[in-house]
Structure 1
Amino acid sequence: MNKPEMIRYLLDEASTHLRHLEEQRSQFCSVLMAVVAGILAFGASDSSPHRDLVGYAIVGLGLFGVLLSWRQNEKINYYKSLADSYVQKLLATNSDCSDLVGHQKEVRRVNARRYLWINRLPTGLFWLLLHVAIVLLGSRLVLLALGTTH
């Protein structure tokens, strides 16, 4: 295996790992949202004597989501930079990379047209804001529960 083939292989590995991490983050978020919805549906009714516990559980899940999402963002950013460095190394070998460069340009063009201004914001920011919203929802439930019991 020559140097350009090896770099392409490493680029493929980094890209595969990057996609895996993004899929993992998405699956985790889906499960977290289902659990929070279940807790809200069964535990936050007006007749529930433990609404504060429901709020604490939601705050805990939200904080866990914030930390996990933050960690996933770090890993994703690492593998993005690794893949970018492999692309640069591949370009430096003077091998035929027209397919790779053309694909990158097309993806950027489509994303810029499709998402306009929002594609400038990091995806991880939206995930973090979602988990922060869960924390705020749980905090609101705790405050409501404590306000009605005293």
Structure 2
Amino acid sequence: MQAPQSADRLEGWLRLYEGQIEHARHHENMRSQATNVVVAISAAMLAFLASDLGKSGAASYLSVATGLFIVALNLYGWLMSMKHYERSRLHIGVAGQYRAVASMMISDETHNVEELRRLAHNEHSKMFLTRVRASWLWSGMHILIGTIGAFIVCNGVSS
């Protein structure tokens, strides 16, 4: 059996890279969709509490139950978000290894692809907000809404 030609080998590495990037994108889409569902349900529960339906005689019990549900739902949303982030980072890491091999194959004396990439990242890192991770923002949304739920529980218990 003959060794694959250089172009075929490069094509193979690029396909492996693209597959990993597609998996990472899938996990980011799943994280976005799960967060949207959790936020929509939380908003509906908050709207329910604010409506006339929530003004019955058992309002404090209803508030406590609704608040606990919002806390639990957003804890689940936070865990789901972090799991999809972890899986996305796995696929990005593997893709980076594949990209490094492909970069070595196409680099020459005057153009080192990985060095060009590093230079672009160094330039980008000077921009505002580069140290704020998107996962912190996704997590922060669940923490904020969960905290609102905890305040509702505290308010319902004290009533």
Same fold, TM-score > 0.5, yes or no: yes
2:37 to 11, 15, 31: 31
Q: Would you say 1:142 and 2:153 are equivalent positions?
A: yes
Larger radius of gyration: 2
Instruction: Give how far 1:117 is off.
Output: 2.2
RMSD over aligned Cα, in angstroms? 2.6
Which stretch shows the higher mean deviation, 100-109 or 71-80? 100-109
TM-score by length of 1: 0.82
2:26 to 8, 20, 37: 20
Paired residues in the alignment total 144
2:13 to 7, 24, 45: 7
Q: Would you say 1:73 and 2:73 are equivalent positions?
A: no
Instruction: Give how far 1:111 is off.
Output: 5.8
Kept in 2: contact 1:44–1:54 (CA 8 A)? no
Q: Structure 2: 5+ residue runs without aligned partners?
A: none
Q: Structure 1: 5+ residue runs without aligned partners?
A: none
Letter of the aligned partner of 1:16 in structure 2? E
Residue by residue over 1:49-91, the C-alpha shift from the partner in whole angstroms, topping out at 9 and shown as x without a partner, is: 2111110110011100111111111111111111111111112
Residue identity (%): 24
Moved over 2 A (4+): 43-46, 94-98, 100-113
Q: Whole-Å Cα distance in 1 between the matches of residues 74 and 117 of structure 2?
A: 35
TM-score by length of 2: 0.77
